[in-house]
Structure 1
Amino acid sequence: MSYCYLTTAELAKRIKYDARTIRERLKDEVLLEGIHYIRPFGGRKILYLWEPIERDMQLHSKEESIGVPMAGGGLCHG
């Protein structure tokens, strides 16, 4: 499978988030290494994989629409 690789700045433009928010709040909480991003050749540089990010944004968007938001940031499904 062929992936579209994005830097943090490029991803920020696509999803309309600040690059700092991606680095500090989404990376490793929502965006997971090996699924949503990789470190090519074991280095420090991070490249985001657009296709899994786009897929998961759409999936979670549908899931969250049926839950009740909780004060701590979670959802109540029931």
Structure 2
Amino acid sequence: MDNSYTYLTTEELAGRIKYDSRTIRQCLKDTVLLEGRHYIKPFGRRKILFLWEEVEKEMLTGARAHEALAIPMASGVVCHG
């Protein structure tokens, strides 16, 4: 596994994926983008750094997953039927 990542702030990620930074913080973080996989909090601080390669992989995987039947649940998870 290659451990070289491109670290992005929320604003930098917003520019790359063409989403508003508030949408990333309020809607995507901790539902689609998960701590430890898609983003980290270096040194246990408030600052969030997104791992571009993992976010990009999730976007590509998520696009294919939406081709299958998926039912959104109230808790934010998705039920695949």
TM range (shorter): 0.7 to 0.9
CA contact (8 A) 1:64 1:75 kept: no
Q: Alpha carbon RMSD of aligned pairs, Å?
A: 2.0
Under a length normalisation based on structure 2, what TM-score does the superposition of the two structures give? 0.82
Which of the numbers 43, 57, 60 marks the counterpart of 2:59? 57
Aligned residue pairs, count: 77
For 1:31, which of 20, 30, 33 is the aligned residue?
33
Q: TM-score if structure 1 supplies the norm length?
A: 0.85
* Residues 66, 3 of structure 1: alpha-carbon distance in 2 compared, 3 angstrom cutoff: same
Q: Select which of 5, 8, 18 maps to 1:6.
A: 8
- Structure 1 unaligned segments of length 5 or more: list them: none
Name the CA shift for 1:20/1:62 in 2 (closer, same or farther; >3 Å): same
- Once the two structures are TM-superposed, the CA of residue 69 in structure 1 deviates from its matched residue by 6.3
Unaligned runs of 5+ in 2: none
1-side partners of 2:80 and 2:43: how far apart?
A: 41
